[in-house]
Amino acid sequence: MHNQLSGLLVSDFTSDILKAFLTNLKETPSCTITQGPFGNTIPVLKDPAHSLWKNSYDFTVIWTQAHSVIPSFKKALEFQEPSEEEILSECDLFIDAVKDAATRSRFVFVVDWNLPEFFHGYGPIDLHQGGLRYLLLSLNKHLADGLKNIPNVYLLGSEKWLQAAGEKACDPRLWYMSKIPFDPSVFKSAAIDIKAALHCFLGGTKKLIIVDLDNTLWGGIVGDDGWQNLKIGGHDPQGEAFADFQRTLKSFHRRGIILAIVSKNQPEIVWQAFEQHPEMVLKRTDFATWRINWQDKVENIMDLLKELNLTEEAAVFIDDNPAERDRVQKAMPAVLVPAWPLNSLLYTKTLLSLRCFDTASITTDDRKRNEMYTQEKQRTQLRQSMQNAQEWLASLETTVTTAPLTDADLPRAAQLLNKTNQMNLSTRRLSEGDLMNWGKAANHRIWIFRVHDKLGDSGLTGIASFEYSKSSACITDFILSCRVFGRHIENVMIKTMIDECQRLGLQELKAVYLKTDKNQPCLEFFNEASHFAKSEENTFVWKIKDKYPDAWPIIIKNRGTIQ
């Protein structure tokens, strides 16, 4: 789904192994890596004229050792007792250097600092003020605080990589022979995490978990055993594990992952179990949709994705039955079907270990996503009860609020830009900082669109932008969340751009469709519903002198104007 990404490694140790894993691991995206010189981290990061910065990088990994970039911390390791202020002021120099580097790379990953497990410090008082691990905690906290407002910088925690490697995580033999501070397995975990983050930043975040029921969400077969005899909760290892698994799914639901059910069962028996079992954690209302019947699961999943306006790439399918998993994986290779353990006590661990839900930010809209899908279900039901589409649209009483992009909307806008695949004209991917900077150019315009109707708030669901010169503007981004497709929001977005073209005295607005595997809906809109004339293959034009049709029955509100 992505082209090869270019990455720069800046470290104060031999980074060849990290380079090797980033290059050789099969996980997407594939990467080509440039290594900075050994050591001299801060000068390299701060100096824009350094030869390394002649190239541009999609991402930079900055991985240092605290005693190397914070000289006072080295003194602390030698029990020379420097002041905490001294240590933190040196940390500020490092933070400034990272800020400089962040202007030259799309994404910057900074690895936090750690100490080898054999470093005992002051023993039982090492976490007291003045102890080494206390200082390390302060340093990492200071680093996190210092970097938190730089939108394209991500602080990665190394502790879990070291924990996973166990006792061999920091082997002094590797350091003394090759200036490698960690076991290769530590670098492997780091590379997997970095690649997963990049994959997600570039639109690969999974949005939907589809679960089976019997022996997946609970122990037992509800149709055979009865809801009273299902293993869930109670004083039983399996029951506790299934309850925990449901709690974990519920926590994913809270952060905005959509839940759905595909199960071979009788629906009335299933809903009775959900409603009557006293230990059931998940409720019917936690699921955006379901297919509970005896049909093929692949057909059910396809149908369910269509209902949710999602692609196969957005979905994860969890089923205890290996035959069902195999069937889905073979028929729908883009759906993530994790290998699932036989032992139900390992379900929660397996779910939590998935890296496919990584995200660059969590917005209010994310947390409300499930609620929004429930509202969408109500809209569909309303649509089915109406004679025609126009009558349905009028009944929704939709309001679209348009506004120029501001800092407040930046995290959600960047997320939408980087996640949306279907209604996306150019599938441009940018970090928050790059998006904002792009919008600041004198001949660029960028808007966000919020959608609200009588059933609820869909939030920030659209982005439109154009670039103009002389008499013509060309649309750069035309992005709409799949949740609000086909409700004339698209036409409001076009109208907003045309109004600005009029204000600027331009003569035409052009859209050039860049085909991807997934953005066919965008081409269909421009062909069938945009009112634009097709000037050549995949190019569409609107003459500004013509009156663009009203996007009836939508109410448009403008919030703020472009200066």
Binding of residue 515 to other proteins (CB under 8 A): no
Compute the least distance from the CB of residue 37 to other proteins, in Å.
Answer: 16
Residues 361, 414: Cα–Cα separation, whole Å: 9
- 174 versus 261: smaller Cβ distance to other proteins: 174
Degrees, nearest 5: CA angle 383-388-391: 80
Beta pairing partners, 442: none
How many residues sit close enough to other proteins to count as binding (CB under 8 A)? 18
Binding of residue 297 to other proteins (CB under 8 A): no
Binding of residue 470 to other proteins (CB under 8 A): no
Return the H-helix or E-strand segment holding 186: helix 184-199
- 169 versus 288: smaller Cβ distance to other proteins: 169
Binding of residue 164 to other proteins (CB under 8 A): no
- 92 versus 117: smaller Cβ distance to other proteins: 117
Binding of residue 21 to other proteins (CB under 8 A): yes
- 17 versus 209: smaller Cβ distance to other proteins: 17
Segment 180-239, which members bind other proteins (CB under 8 A)? 180, 184-185, 187-188
Binding of residue 168 to other proteins (CB under 8 A): yes
Q: Can you tell me which of 1, 2, 6, 20 binds other proteins, judged by CB under 8 A?
A: 20
Per-residue interface string for the shown chain with other proteins, residues 122-161, x marking contact by CB under 8 A: ----------------------------------------
Binding of residue 177 to other proteins (CB under 8 A): yes
Residues 459, 456: Cα–Cα separation, whole Å: 9
Residues 538, 527: Cα–Cα separation, whole Å: 9
Which residues in 396-408 are b (16+ Cβ under 10 Å) and which e?
bebebbbbbbeee
Q: Can you tell me which of 4, 23, 32, 163 binds other proteins, judged by CB under 8 A?
A: 23
Compute the least distance from the CB of residue 171 to other proteins, in Å.
Answer: 6
Which stretch in 9-17, 363-371, 474-482, 532-540 sits in contact with other proteins by CB under 8 A?
9-17
Which stretch in 17-25, 417-425, 522-530, 548-556 sits in contact with other proteins by CB under 8 A?
17-25
- 163 versus 178: smaller Cβ distance to other proteins: 178
Residues 409, 519: Cα–Cα separation, whole Å: 24
Output the CA–CA distances (angstroms, integers) from residue 221 to 65, 133, 265, 270, 474, in the order listed.
53, 50, 9, 10, 58
Compute the least distance from the CB of residue 182 to other proteins, in Å.
Answer: 11
3-state SS assignment for residue 63: strand
3-state SS assignment for residue 304: helix
Backbone CA torsion sign across 476, 482, 484, 486: positive
- The owner of tokens 């928050």 is 432
Q: Can you tell me which of 84, 86, 171, 434 binds other proteins, judged by CB under 8 A?
A: 171
- 28 versus 399: smaller Cβ distance to other proteins: 28
**Largest Cα–Cα separation, the chain:** 81
Q: Can you tell me which of 49, 80, 123, 173 binds other proteins, judged by CB under 8 A?
A: 173
- Cβ 348 vs Cβ 368: under 8 Å: no
From the list 148, 153, 63, the residue with the least C-alpha distance to 106 is 153
556 burial (CB, 10 Å; 0-12 / 13-18 / 19+) is middle
Q: Can you tell me which of 5, 69, 110, 174 binds other proteins, judged by CB under 8 A?
A: 174
Interface ranges with other proteins (CB under 8 A): 14, 16-17, 20-21, 23-24, 168, 171, 173-174, 177-178, 180, 184-185, 187-188
